Amino acid sequence: MTTKPVVLLAEELSPATIAALGPDFEIRYTDGSDRAQLLPAIADVDAILVRSATQVDAEAIAAAKKLKVIARAGVGLDNVDIKAATQAGVMVVNAPTSNIVSAAELTCGHILSLARNIPAANISLKGGKWKRAKYAGTELLDKKLGVIGLGRIGALVAARMQAFEMEVLAFDPYVTAARAAQLNVKLVTLDELLAQSDFITIHMPKTPETVGMLGKDAFAKMKKTAYVVNVARGGLIDEEALARALEDGEIAGAGVDVFSKEPSTDLAFFGHESVVVTPHLGASTDEAQEKAGVSVAKSVRLALAGELVPDA
Ligand code: MLT
């Protein structure tokens, strides 16, 4: 009997992922967010598939004696220790475009929710209260949207919010003036963006430079009527500074999908009515999960067959 290579699914992945892996592997399951389950489960597998809840850090990589591939069914790689993987000769693959539309659409949903108080009004009405004046909102027409990070997702958000006739400003040192002009976006400095925007949305990767990028100093530069949205990565907003800025009336509200520590269910700023929170749903659509799962399953197949894995 020949033994099949083992693929460990450490998080909930779409049925299409398993179908795309095909019959050539032994598939095992574990809860990657639980270290006590992950470390023994990873010990003798050839590949591991994760989303964002599994920390594939140096300790996990060291425990994985046969590991050849770490596959991240999503965009970011901040939960994978790339250096430790490289040192151990383990390939890392992801699906960089799989969920960009879903993340952009959720961002737009947060902007609209904040502008029109939809979540708070919904809770109030279902609680038996008819409060039309309390939940009066603001139009998006002619308001300024500041996009921090005009990469794939930031550009999709800009295009979608332009349909509401918002004026889009962006801060992104890596974007050329020609690209910004093509997107009909005005490139500005970060300080100009913070000072002028009515809505600010951040679409940056999580790196030592971007952690806490929207903190005390940034909130102090914003309009008192500004709303801030983070559907990118937990930690880009300093959560304590956000709670204080809301408390002190430095900004009007925030829409937050990602948190420094996940899961998080009771952070200080959750108490504000002008805050909308969702539990890391940016990539959680059927379409994005199918695209991400199929893309990384194909990469795992190629990598375990010793074939070249093309850039996704
Ligand atoms: C991503 O980085 O693509 C998402 O965070 C994936 C996920 O939701 O797990």
**CB distance 99 to ligand 1 below 6 Å:** yes
**Sheet strands side by side (includes 227-230):** 186-187, 167-171, 144-148, 199-202, 227-230, 253-256, 275-277
Predicted confidence band of residue 179 (pLDDT cuts 50, 70, 90): very high
Q: Kindly tell me if the per-residue pLDDT of 136 is higher than 80.
A: yes
**CB distance 52 to ligand 1 below 6 Å:** yes
The residues, any chain, with a CB within 8 Å of residue 57's CB and separated by 6 or more, are: 81, 84
Predicted pLDDT of residue 163: 98
**Ligand 1 centre and the CA of 276: distance in Å?**
19
Q: What amino acid positions are annotated as catalytic residues?
A: 233, 262, 280
Nearest protein CA to atom 4 of ligand 1, as residue: 74
Predicted confidence band of residue 310 (pLDDT cuts 50, 70, 90): confident
Predicted pLDDT of residue 311: 77
Predicted confidence band of residue 308 (pLDDT cuts 50, 70, 90): confident
Q: Which domains can be identified in the chain, with CATH numbers?
A: 6-96+286-304 (3.40.50.720), 100-277 (3.40.50.720)
**CB distance 76 to ligand 1 below 6 Å:** yes
Predicted confidence band of residue 1 (pLDDT cuts 50, 70, 90): low
> Does residue 1 or residue 138 have the better pLDDT?
138
Q: Residue 231's closest CA among 179, 281, 170, 178?
A: 281
pLDDT tens digit sequence for 234-258? 999 999 999 999 999 999 999 999 9
Query: Which burial class, exposed, middle or buried, applies to 183 when counting CB atoms under 10 A from its CB (0-12, 13-18, 19+)?
Result: buried
**CB distance 283 to ligand 1 below 6 Å:** yes
pLDDT tens digit sequence for 30-82? 999 999 999 999 999 999 999 999 999 999 999 999 999 999 999 989 999 99
The closest-lying atom of ligand 1 relative to the alpha carbon of residue 78 is 2
pLDDT tens digit sequence for 196-229? 999 999 999 999 999 999 999 999 999 999 999 9
The closest-lying atom of ligand 1 relative to the alpha carbon of residue 281 is 8
Cα(97)–Cα(117) distance, integer angstroms:
31
**CB distance 166 to ligand 1 below 6 Å:** no
Predicted pLDDT of residue 65: 97
